Structure 1
Amino acid sequence: MRNWKNYVRWLFFGLFLFIIAQGKMVLWLIIFAASLPLAYYFGRLYCGYVCPMNTVMKLSEKMSGKMKRIPKEAPRWLSSGRMPWVFLFLSLGWMVFSRTVLGKNPPVLLIWLLLSVVITLFYKPSVFHNLICPFGVLQKAFSRKPYLAYKVVESQCIGCKKCEKVCPSASIEVLKASNKACITTSLCLQCGNCKQVCPKDTIFYQKR
């Protein structure tokens, strides 16, 4: 199952590179925009499978591990959660200014792709996913209460925290009070890593 998911990610990554090579960045932005209403029903599938940044971040994370770096927590200035919106409006402003005034298409997507790689070399992937990415913040807004999402059957959960360790967006937390795992749907990338490692098979992708 994991290999199949990786094939899907790399297929979309190849499509992204092809579209950018053709100078059709707007086409990829249209694909992203089309994914927003889908997030309302199916969660952040774009982030988990389509987004090129998520794909290269997985490689960056592996590279960081081989370099034996200890991933850092998020810096304090990001803790408010407002910066993704700031980065979103700055990116949009740059795109509009470059196209209307300079007559050029700025490499916004490629720059964010590079930043995602560099940041993940030093910080946990969740830092970029939740506190920096200007595209993820829109996906988060549309997927607060999706029709389908991963859910934990609490009666079967043993609080082993294996799901916590493999979640790239820190959307799963084993609550101290109940010792049961809880998934924050708006942060979940729908990657299914948690389900694959759950020893009790207590995580399901189903109606909320």
Structure 2
Amino acid sequence: MDKVQILRKISQIFFFIYFIFFTSFCLCFFGLIEKFILKGSFGSLVLKLVVIIVLTLLFGRVFCGWMCPFGFLMELSYKLRAKIYKLKKLPKVSEELHNKLIYFKYLVMILSLVLTYYLATYAFCKVCPIGFLTNLYGTVISLIILITFLIASFFLPMTFCRYFCPLGAFLSIFSIRPLFILKTNNNCVKCRLCEFKCPMQIKITENVNQKECIRCFECKSSCKKGGISFSIK
């Protein structure tokens, strides 16, 4: 494990522990948006939303790959399977189906906001998988969703992040053209080892989809030629 991955694991563990044991500490900026719809203000938590958006504009979806507690659990799930079965390539779905499903999370995002507005309730918070662990708005439904997607991620990496997460959908809007981008360089030999290790099923050797990339840097760590760069475009 290289230094970047070590730092990322430290970050993930820190935010996971902080999120679980300090229930008043909510990282969910989507919840802040729901709060604005319901109450007309962000309150004292607006700084969190601003910081996360700025980070996304600069570096892409680093929240997803470095801070999200549910993303951390799902990563542990698929890596457990990879270790048990000694997988050299992560499981994938067909490209045609994958390219359609990645837009489903935008529908979830819009639906959550519409329900929040018309039902006057925290629609997404009520079913948020991580909400059950923190007791913020945990329900039986959130527990079922938590278990379902942990199992799903065991078979297909980051299932929730790829296709269902409204937070990821919201952040992807700000990460279409981040200042720092992930890209291949002249050292790339098109071996596709990076693609075999990408949990988001991104065609890295063809064109890195910045808005789908969660900045886990598994591709960069797996490249033996130094063929992937993360720098200002």
Structure 1 match to 2:163 = 131
Determine which of 81, 84, 89 is the counterpart of 1:64.
Answer: 81
Confirm whether residue 168 of structure 1 aligns to residue 171 of structure 2. Answer: no
Deviations 1:40-91 (A, max 9, x none): 1211111110111210011111333466598462795982544212222333
Paired residue total: 194
The one-letter code of the counterpart of 1:136 is G
- Give the CA deviation at 1:144: 0.7
Equivalent-residue separation in structure 1 for 2:152 and 2:50 (angstroms): 25
The one-letter code of the counterpart of 2:202 is S
Equivalent-residue separation in structure 2 for 1:158 and 1:167 (angstroms): 17
Confirm whether residue 47 of structure 1 aligns to residue 99 of structure 2. Answer: no
Confirm whether residue 9 of structure 1 aligns to residue 12 of structure 2. Answer: yes
Relative to 1, partners in 2 of residues 1:173 and 1:88: Cα closer, same or farther, differing over 3 Å?
same
Q: Secondary structure at the match of 1:205?
A: strand
Equivalent-residue separation in structure 2 for 1:150 and 1:4 (angstroms): 18
- Give the CA deviation at 1:207: 0.4
Confirm whether residue 156 of structure 1 aligns to residue 187 of structure 2. Answer: yes
Contact 1:79 1:131 in 2 (8 A): no
Equivalent-residue separation in structure 1 for 2:231 and 2:68 (angstroms): 23
Structure 2 match to 1:37 = 54
Equivalent-residue separation in structure 2 for 1:56 and 1:143 (angstroms): 23
Which ranges of structure 1 fall in alignment gaps of 5 or more residues?
Answer: 176-181
Confirm whether residue 183 of structure 1 aligns to residue 208 of structure 2. Answer: yes
| TM-score, with structure 1 as normaliser | 0.76
Q: Percent identity?
A: 24
Contact 2:189 2:227 in 1 (8 A): no
Root mean square deviation, CA, Å = 3.2
Confirm whether residue 73 of structure 1 aligns to residue 101 of structure 2. Answer: no
| TM-score, with structure 2 as normaliser | 0.69
Deviations 1:85-122 (A, max 9, x none): 2222333455563648xxxx735243365454232123
Deviations 1:7-48 (A, max 9, x none): 1111011122134x34x54x6335356412321121111111
Relative to 1, partners in 2 of residues 1:28 and 1:165: Cα closer, same or farther, differing over 3 Å?
same
Relative to 1, partners in 2 of residues 1:164 and 1:76: Cα closer, same or farther, differing over 3 Å?
closer
The one-letter code of the counterpart of 2:68 is C
Equivalent-residue separation in structure 2 for 1:193 and 1:124 (angstroms): 13
Relative to 1, partners in 2 of residues 1:99 and 1:107: Cα closer, same or farther, differing over 3 Å?
same
Relative to 1, partners in 2 of residues 1:199 and 1:186: Cα closer, same or farther, differing over 3 Å?
same
Equivalent-residue separation in structure 2 for 1:121 and 1:32 (angstroms): 31
Relative to 1, partners in 2 of residues 1:139 and 1:162: Cα closer, same or farther, differing over 3 Å?
same
